[in-house]
Amino acid sequence: MRIVLATRNAKKVPEMRAILAEAGVEAQVLALDSFPDAPEVPETEPTFTGNALLKARAIAAHTGLPAVADDSGLSVDELKGMPGVLSARWSGRFGEKDQDRANLDLVLDQLADTPAERRGARFVCAAALVMPDGVEVVAEGVLRGRLLRERRGDHGFGYDPVFAPEGHTRTTAEMSPEEKNAISHRGIAFRKLARELAEMI
């Protein structure tokens, strides 16, 4: 079985392959680099699920293969769930080299006067599988935690340096990739999706 992962991030391919194998699914996982003419799909929906489905549907239609896509971001309690689907472009500097730092700086500035007990947040991921016959499956993963005031750790990306998951004293940027993947919102969503796929085949 061949599955297309709707991303050009090569690091996501071995992660998905391992998760599928864990669920008992034997599959060749392909990144979008295997399809140079695949369309770029803008994330124009107001929800993580909507954006994941948008991308998976477009890539399944283009390749004629099962396609998996995800959308994820940070939802801050004090900001009424924002930045949400705007997480990657919260500072308005999308595509720039320092966009991660700018996004994180803006969130920290917006929470500058917020006490520790009100700094709750969660990482959310929606993962979608679209089959060529039109069958669609969506799974969601959530990792709750709190936002610190100072950056800690050199791993990960985005908001990882200030996000400490519930039950942990370290940020996700202080964890190894293996430790983070074991508890991450993306890992949770993809493992749910893999179990659904295992049942389907």
Fold held by 2-200 = Maf protein (3.90.950)
Q: Are 169 and 117 in contact (CB under 8 A)?
A: no
pTM metric for this prediction: 0.90
How many helices (H) does the chain have, and how many strands (E)? 5, 6
pLDDT over threshold 90, residue 51: yes
- Residue 134 scores a pLDDT above 70: yes
pLDDT band (50, 70, 90) for residue 102: very high
**Two tokens at 40?**
């770029």
CA dihedral 190, 141, 110, 90 (to 10 degrees): 40
pLDDT of residue 11 exceeding 80, the answer is no
- Which residues are known catalytic residues? 71
In which band, very low, low, confident or very high, does the pLDDT at 94 lie, cut at 50, 70 and 90? Answer: low
pLDDT attached to residue 8: 79
Kindly provide the b/e burial profile for residues 125-164, where b requires at least 16 CB atoms within 10 angstroms of the residue's own CB: bbbbbbbeeeeebbbbbebbbbbeeebbbeebebbbbbbb
Q: 176-196, pLDDT tens digit by residue?
A: 988 998 899 998 999 999 998
Which of these, 166, 144, 154, 136, lies nearest to 76 by C-alpha position? Answer: 144
pLDDT at 147 over 80: yes
pLDDT of 95 reads 64
Give me the residue spans of the domains in the chain: 2-200
Average pLDDT over residues 42-46: 93
Distance between CA 172 and CA 152 in Å, rounded?
Answer: 9
Q: Which helix (H) or strand (E) holds 100?
A: helix 99-110
pLDDT of residue 13: 83
Whether the per-residue pLDDT at 10 is higher than 80: the answer is: no
- In angstroms, the CA 1 to CA 3 distance is 7
